[in-house]
Amino acid sequence: MKQQLFKRIILDFQKKEIPDFISRDHKLSLIKDVSLSISGPRRCGKTYRTYQFIQEYINAGNNIENICRIQFNDNKLRLLRTGELELISQSYYSLYPEKQNKEEVLFIFDEIHRIPGWEDYILYLLDNQKHKIIITGSTSKLQKGNFASSLRGKNFDRELLPFSFREFLRFYRIEKDYISSNSIAQCQKKMLDYLHQGAFPGLLEIEPSLHSEMLESYWNTMLIKDISEAHKDEDRINIVQLEMFAIFLISRIGCPMTVRKIIISMREANYPIAPDKAQKYLKYLEEAFMIFTVAFYSLSEKIRNRNYRKIYAIDWALANSVALGEGIDITRQFENLVFIELKRRKYLISYFKTQDGYEIDFVTQDRNRRQRPDLYQVCYDFSLENVKERELRAIEKSYKFLNAKSITIITLEQEAEIIRDGFKISVVPAWKWLLK
C-alpha cells in the first residue's frame, strides 16, 4: 500500500512542471559519498532553491526520471514510520529497474527530519555510489544537533538565508548599474523598500498592508513548529513563557544582552523564568535561526565569555513586527540588515568596545582567522555632525589597537573617502555595499 503511494508521489513530481523561481546566488555542489543539506529559517526559500537545482541538473543533460523527490510535510506521509523509509528507494527502482546500479539517481528529501531515525536511511542510500542526496530542513539541528552524531562526516551543509539585496532586485527585474542615474535612483528606492519590508521571499508577492500580519504568522509558526513541537520529547515547553522570552530578546536587537538581564525584565513584567529554562530557550531560538548572538572581539575565550553579547534577528522587519512597544527604531533595523549580509558572506563576526565606551559595530575575519580583521560601523545618517564625530572617534580608538586591515562605514545615502590619522575610511551607501 505504502509502495503504491510512493510511486504516485514520485511520478506526480516528475510529470509536474518546475514552478517559476527567482534565481539565488547561493551555490550548491554535489559531493561524492556525501549528502548535501540546505538548512535555514522557515520561509527563506529552501524548497524553491531545490527547484533551481533541479533545473540546473536537467540543463546539464540529466533526465527528470533520474530524480526522486519526496516532501515529508505531505499529510499523506504524516504517520510514516522509520522502518518504512526504505520503501522509497524500493518504489523508485520498481518504476525504473534498469537504472539500479547503472545510472546516477538524485534523491531530494524535504523535511525528512520529521521522521525519527531518518539518518540511518540516508547512510543506507549513500552506500550506493550512484546515489546523490539533497536534504532540506527548517531547523539547524540538521547541522548543530542530531544531524549530528550518525551523519557527521557524511553530510555537507549549505545555509540559506532570506533574499539578499541582489536577489531582491532580481525579483523586481532591476539590474545593478553604478553609472546611470536612473538605475542608481531605482537601487536607492528599492533599498528603502528592502529595509522596511525585510527579506522573506513570500512577502514580495502580497500587499504591503499584509506584511506585518504575514511576518507575525511566520514568527508564530517558528515558535510552535520549529521549537515547541521539535522539542516536545525532550523538554516540557511553556509556550507562553517561550514566546515572551523570545519577544523580550528580539526587542533588543543591536543592544547589549545577557540572559540574566532578560530574566530580570521578565520577572518585572510578571513572566518569571528559571535561568536553566532561559538558557535552553536561547539555544532553541538560535537552532531555529530566529536569532543570532554576537560575542565581544578578543583572542581570549575568557574575555569573550566575560563580556555581554549583542543580539540580532534573522530578519529586521520580522523583529520589528513582534517587538515590544512601538517596535525597533529604523537605525537598529538598519544595523541588523548589515549583520545578516555579513553572515551571508560567511565571516566570523564580533563587536568591539574600548575601555572608554566607544563601540565598533562589527569586527569581521575570515573563517580561519588568518587575516587581520575588518571593521564596520553602521550609521544610518552620517550627515549629522555629532554622529559623524562619534563614529570617527570610535574608529580612531580601535583601529590601531585591533591592527585592522580596513574600515568601512555603511550609511543609508552618504558616500565619501576620509583620511584620518593616516588611515583610510570608506563611507559607502548600503545599496552599493550590498551589491558588491
Let me know whether 278 and 150 are in one domain.
Answer: no
64 in a structural domain: yes
Task: Give the C-alpha separation, 390 to 359, whole Å.
Answer: 9
Average of per-residue pLDDT across 194-216: 95
Q: Is the pLDDT of residue 177 over 80?
A: no
DSSP-assigned beta bridge partners for residue 310: 256, 294
123 in a structural domain: yes
**Span 358-405, pLDDT tens digits:** 999 999 998 877 789 999 999 999 998 888 999 999 999 899 899 999
Determine contact, residues 204/44, Cβ cutoff 8 Å.
no
Let me know whether 152 and 25 are in one domain.
Answer: yes
**Span 269-299, pLDDT tens digits:** 999 999 999 999 999 999 999 999 999 999 8
Q: What is the mean pLDDT of the chain?
A: 92
* R_g over Cα of the chain: 24
Where does the pLDDT of residue 21 fall: very low under 50, low under 70, confident under 90, or very high at 90 and above? Answer: very high
Instruction: Out of 13-27, 126-140, 222-236, 246-260, pick the least confident.
Output: 222-236
146 in a structural domain: yes
215 in a structural domain: yes
Sign of CA dihedral 428, 430, 432, 436: positive
71 in a structural domain: yes
Let me know whether 106 and 254 are in one domain.
Answer: no
pTM of the full structure: 0.94
Residue 436, pLDDT score: 86
Residue 371, pLDDT score: 86
Domain span at residue 126? 2-160
Buried-state track 340-378, b at ≥16 Cβ within 10 A, e below 16 = bbbbbeebbbbbbbeeeebbbbbbbbeeeeeeebbbbbb
Let me know whether 110 and 246 are in one domain.
Answer: no
Residue 180, pLDDT score: 75
Cell of 316: 529586521
Residue 138, pLDDT score: 67
Buried-state track 45-79, b at ≥16 Cβ within 10 A, e below 16 = bbbbbbbbbbeebeeeebeeebbbbbbbeeeebee
Tally of CB atoms within 10 A around 20: 7
Residue 140, pLDDT score: 54
240 in a structural domain: yes
Domain total in the chain: 2
Determine contact, residues 45/28, Cβ cutoff 8 Å.
no
Let me know whether 236 and 151 are in one domain.
Answer: no
Q: What separation, in Å, do the N-terminal and C-terminal C-alpha atoms of the chain show? A: 53
Q: Is the pLDDT of residue 244 over 90?
A: yes
Let me know whether 149 and 66 are in one domain.
Answer: yes
Let me know whether 14 and 125 are in one domain.
Answer: yes
Instruction: Out of 13-17, 173-177, 265-269, 304-308, pick the least confident.
Output: 173-177
Residue 90, pLDDT score: 97
Q: Is the pLDDT of residue 237 over 60?
A: yes
Average of per-residue pLDDT across 28-54: 94
**Span 76-105, pLDDT tens digits:** 998 899 899 999 999 999 999 999 999 999
Let me know whether 11 and 106 are in one domain.
Answer: yes
Residue 179, pLDDT score: 66
Average of per-residue pLDDT across 174-187: 80
277 vs 420 pLDDT, higher one: 277
Task: Give the C-alpha separation, 361 to 369, whole Å.
Answer: 18
Let me know whether 248 and 118 are in one domain.
Answer: no
